[in-house]
Structure 1
Amino acid sequence: MNAMLETLACAQRPVPATPPVALTFGRVLTQLDMGLALFVGEGPTQLALPFCAPFLVREETLVAVDAANCFNLYRLTEWARRKRLGSPALLNRLRIARAFTPFQLATILYHIGGEMERYRASCLVITGLPECLYDEELTEQEARNTFARCQGSLLQLATRYPVLAFSEWPPHPVGKRIRFLDSLASLARSVFEVHRAEPILFAPVKAPGLLTISKEA
C-alpha cells in the first residue's frame, strides 16, 4: 500500500465533525485550476451539481459525465429560481452525458474532448468513477481494462481543462479494486475528503500550497 492509499484509507476511519484542516465550499472553489480535482467521502456525488452552479452563473458552459445518476436538474432549476436567474439559459450551459455501464463511461470519456470543444466548455465534471467498477458482475480483467481506458482519457483531458471528479467510498469491501481510487488520487492535482458537517467541510488530502491532512492526523 503506497503513501497516498494509506492516507485515503486513514481518512475513512471515524473522524471528528471538524477535521484538523478544513476548507469551506468557497475556499475550495478558489483552489480549482487546470488538472484533476478529486472529491472523496460519503455523499460527495451530491455535491457535483452545486459545484457546477458558480461556473454556470459566470455564463460558462460545463460538460458533466454522470455515471452515478446524481444530476437532478429540478434542484438546479429551483436554485436558479431562488437566485432569480434565468433557469432555461442556465440549463442550456450544462451539457450532461449519462453513462449507465462502465463500458459506456469509458467510451464517453474517450470522445468527450470533442464535445468540450464543440460547446466551448470550460470545465468537465465526472461522477461514478471508480465506484461503477466495483460491480461484482465485472471480472477483474474487465474492471482493470475499463479503468485503464478511463484513466488514459482523464490524463489527456486534465491537461486541457479543470476536471472535477466526485467519488464515493466503497460501500463494501472491493479487494484490489480499491487501487482504482488510489490511482485517481495519484493522478489528481488536488484531493479533498468531504465531511458531512453543517456547513459541509473539505479536508485537503493533496492540495498544492495548502496544509494537508496526513495519515497520522
Structure 2
Amino acid sequence: MTIRVLVADDQPMIRASLRIILEDQDGISVVAEAADGAEAVALARRLRPDVCLVDIRMPALDGIEVTLALAGPGVREPLRVVVVTSFDLDEYVYGALRSGAVGFVLKDAGPNLLVEAVRAAHAGDALVSPAVTLRLLRRIAAAEEAPAPGEAPPLSERELEVVRAIARGRTNQEIAAELFISLSTVKSHVSRIQTKLGMRNRVEIAAWAWQSRVMAGA
C-alpha cells in the first residue's frame, strides 16, 4: 500500500526537497503541496492523505493551528500530522504534540529520520527527533504535577519496561532487541498500554512516563 503524503511549507525549495526525498522511497507518494496553512487544511480535508508533513511557520495558519484543525481534540476523523521544522523551541514541540501531532522532526535531522517519521505515522506510531525528545519530556515532567498514586491503571512489570523504553525514544525494533521479545509482542504491549492509560500514541505514553515519575524506577 502506498503512503499518501501532503507536504505543507511556505518555501518552494523545501517542498521540492521533501518531495524528492519521499518519492525516492518505495511505497511513498506526495499527493499534494501547500504553500500556507489555510491551503494545507483545505487540501488535507479534501484529499485525506495518510500523513501530513507541516511546517511550523507558515502564512495564514501556522503549523500548530493546522495541527489543531486536522488532528486536535474534537476532530471527528483526525489525520496524522508530523511537524517538520527548523525550530526546536520547546513551545513549538510541546504545542505541536499537545495539538495532536504524532511526530516532530527537525529539517536538519536527515532524510532517513524524515522517512522513518512518515512510516511511523502511517503505522499509527509516533516519532520525535532524538535531539529534542528527552528535553521535551523532562520539561513536561517538571511543569506538571504527577498523577496521584493509583490514578493510572496498573501496568505489569513488563509493560513498565516497555513504557520506560518508549520514554527513552526507543523504536519497537530496539525495544524487542533490548527485552529479548518479538516485534509482534512489543506491538501488543504498546497497544495494551495505550488502552490502559487512555493514550493516543507513543509520545503521550512517553510524556506520561516522565510526568508520573515512572522513569525514576528505571
Structure with the larger strand share: 1
TM-score normalised to the size of structure 1?
0.32
Could you say which structure has the higher helix fraction? 2
Structure ranking higher on relative contact order (CA contacts 8 Å, 6+ apart):
1
